[in-house]
Amino acid sequence: MRISDNTNLATDWGDFQDPGITQARANETLAQVATRVGVNLADLQSANPQITDPNKLTPGSEIRIPAPAADVSVAREETPAPVNATSRHVETSLEANAMRSLLSSSYPPNVSAPNSSTSGSGGIAQMPPVAMPLNEGYSEKEKQDLTDGLRKVYRAGEQLGISHNDIVSMLHTLAGNPPLTSKKMTESLRLFFMAKDLSPQDRKLVGDAFKASHGDPTQAVALTKLVANPKFVKASTQTKKEWLDKFEALTKRPELKNLGPEEKSVVIQALASDPPPSEDKISSTLDVLASAKNLSPVDQKLFVGGLNAAGGDPAYAANLKKLVEDPKFKSLKPAEKTAVLSQTKNYADADAVANFDRLLHKDWFRAESLDNKQRTLKTIGRLSTYPTGDRQIIYNTLDKLLGDKSPIKLEWKKYPDKSTFWGEMGDTVLYLNRQKIPKGNDKLPENDETNSLAIETVPHEVNHFVNHDKVASTFHYFESEYRAWYVEFKAEHNRVPTSQEAMDQRISWQLNPKSFYGKYAASALKNPQEAQKFYHFLESMTGMKVDAKNWKTVVKSDPATWPNKGQAAAPVPSGNVDNH
């Protein structure tokens, strides 16, 4: 916390247990306030029911700070609520949401579109530029829906910068293959968008391939993968034509006839995602599908769903096959198999699947209850696929948890209700607060609580393990906690913290005598030799001269007044800072 912003704490740190008031800063979210004042986000939310949108606070508005849950059992430790992580993995440059909004921003069916003569470029034609597609056997309603859909696609295609000729070609294919579903609209636009920077001849090839697919959205998804592949982009027009022809021919192979739509989609995506398309790819994918034949119907569905979600990634397919053929998997109870395969689908990523397989070889995992197996699986899945973190720290952390020779055991511990403790490291046991992670086979919800546990607490505690940290009334222990925080910060944000972030989110809190860590720091500060190390640390953080007289003032001061303005990189702690 930055104490100068909190009148209650600024006057007397001894009042840490009392509720106080703070003011929202510009652009601050409630999660960031929680971090700043050192309380749990959920507690802060319930203390402030007037806040309707925790991501949009009015700067200067008053926020009531609840007392932190009083649980100071010595073996445990707490971490403050994390800074909100908002980054998300975006699969292509054209996100599904953007596409939906493009399509919905088109003229609603009941409103007649402006006449094309009234607008210049980018205007919308009264009718889509294709012949009226439907003949006998279709109701007026069906004809109207199709026309409206084509008009939307036309409008969205123009906004996406797809050339007029290509839009017309796409609309002809869509018009000839009703009904026009929203998936069809979205996927065909995505395909033509991905192709729009190719040469006119190459774009015509793509249009022809789309026509040959009869606008089938599954084929459009696969064609998009092929067209977006760098090997395809670089290939000559002749080679492109050969690949597209081959792709079309292979998708009509008799082996695919008997497959269900999901299985067929798996094979087609595999063919498209790693050009050139070849018979080998069909047979290896069929081979992967065959490895699911002994699974229950529910598990088969999850297996195929995962392959589809992985979009033809050959490494994922190979790892999934290896996992279900692993004797350790085969010996699981039916509900446990379903738990594992649910997460291979939720986290359809080659590394995540390899990590699930490593888990199956851990005795502690095999001994866990089903509920806790589910918690472990989704935590590992989230950590394995966290898109915006420091990959090296996350990889090393997973290796410490799952490596063959690693002695660490994970245990989901029941803490008192509303405990602010996330986890702790025993000699070799990593205890995690099981209330922070719901059981079940769904994906881990992506919020501050789950990030705090999976992305921060796990690397934090593993850092204590690799450094053999012990609680003590010394600067060294203070630095150990700072280091573990420094590592969790890097794990989550893929960068080092600034001095201001370190002070706000950790140091002022670690020095607060009422916090778990503060008691040890206060005791260490009574020893002049130890105290010198604290002052030196605060000097390297702020750029100010620090001594016994001013150190508390320095901790409470506004970073903007520091010589380094708080923007310099926070001091690098000694010891192992990447969990190797």
Query: Which residues contact Zn ion by CB under 5 A?
Result: 77, 481, 484
SS3 391: helix
**The dihedral of CA 538, 543, 549, 553: what is its sign?**
negative
Closest to Zn ion by CB, 309 or 471: 471
Tell me the closest approach of the beta carbon of residue 578 to Zn ion, in angstroms: 16
Tell me the closest approach of the beta carbon of residue 149 to Zn ion, in angstroms: 56
For the record, the structure tokens of 116 come out as 């094309």
Closest to Zn ion by CB, 186 or 451: 451
Complete edge-to-edge strand list for the sheet that includes strand 429-433: 409-413, 429-433, 423-425
Tell me the closest approach of the beta carbon of residue 480 to Zn ion, in angstroms: 7
Closest to Zn ion by CB, 22 or 420: 420
Tell me the closest approach of the beta carbon of residue 37 to Zn ion, in angstroms: 19
The total of other beta-carbon atoms located within 10 Å of residue 236's CB is 9
Closest to Zn ion by CB, 78 or 166: 78
Q: Are strands 20-23 and 62-65 parallel, antiparallel or unpaired?
A: antiparallel
Tell me the closest approach of the beta carbon of residue 465 to Zn ion, in angstroms: 11
Tell me the closest approach of the beta carbon of residue 460 to Zn ion, in angstroms: 6
Tell me the closest approach of the beta carbon of residue 375 to Zn ion, in angstroms: 21
CA–CA separation, 320 vs 378, rounded Å? 16
Tell me the closest approach of the beta carbon of residue 469 to Zn ion, in angstroms: 7
CA–CA separation, 301 vs 296, rounded Å? 9
Closest to Zn ion by CB, 481 or 492: 481
Residue partners of 429: CB distance under 8 A and separation at least 6: 408, 409, 410, 411
- Is the backbone peptide bond immediately before 297 cis, with ω within 30 degrees of 0? no
Q: Are strands 429-433 and 409-413 parallel, antiparallel or unpaired?
A: parallel
Residue partners of 307: CB distance under 8 A and separation at least 6: 266, 270, 288, 289, 316, 317, 320, 348
Q: Which residue is nearest to Zn ion (CB)?
A: 484
Closest to Zn ion by CB, 73 or 105: 73
Closest to Zn ion by CB, 215 or 423: 423
Closest to Zn ion by CB, 348 or 484: 484
Do 463 and 442 meet the contact criterion of CB atoms below 8 Å apart? Answer: no
Strands (E), 402-476: 409-413, 423-425, 429-433
Radius of gyration of the chain (CA): 29
Closest to Zn ion by CB, 349 or 481: 481
Tell me the closest approach of the beta carbon of residue 355 to Zn ion, in angstroms: 24
Segments in 160-199 forming alpha helices (H): 164-175, 182-195
Tell me the closest approach of the beta carbon of residue 390 to Zn ion, in angstroms: 18
Tell me the closest approach of the beta carbon of residue 79 to Zn ion, in angstroms: 7
Q: Which residues sit opposite 76 in a β-bridge?
A: none
Closest to Zn ion by CB, 77 or 456: 77
468: left (phi over 0), alpha (psi -120 to 50) or beta: left
Segments in 113-236 forming alpha helices (H): 140-159, 164-175, 182-195, 200-212, 217-228, 230-234
**Distance between the two ends of the chain, CA-based, in angstroms?**
30
Q: Give how far the C-alpha of residue 303 lies from the chain's centroid of Cα atoms, to the nearest Å.
A: 21
Closest to Zn ion by CB, 374 or 480: 480
- Residue of 402, 386, 427, 474 whose CA lies nearest to 82: 386
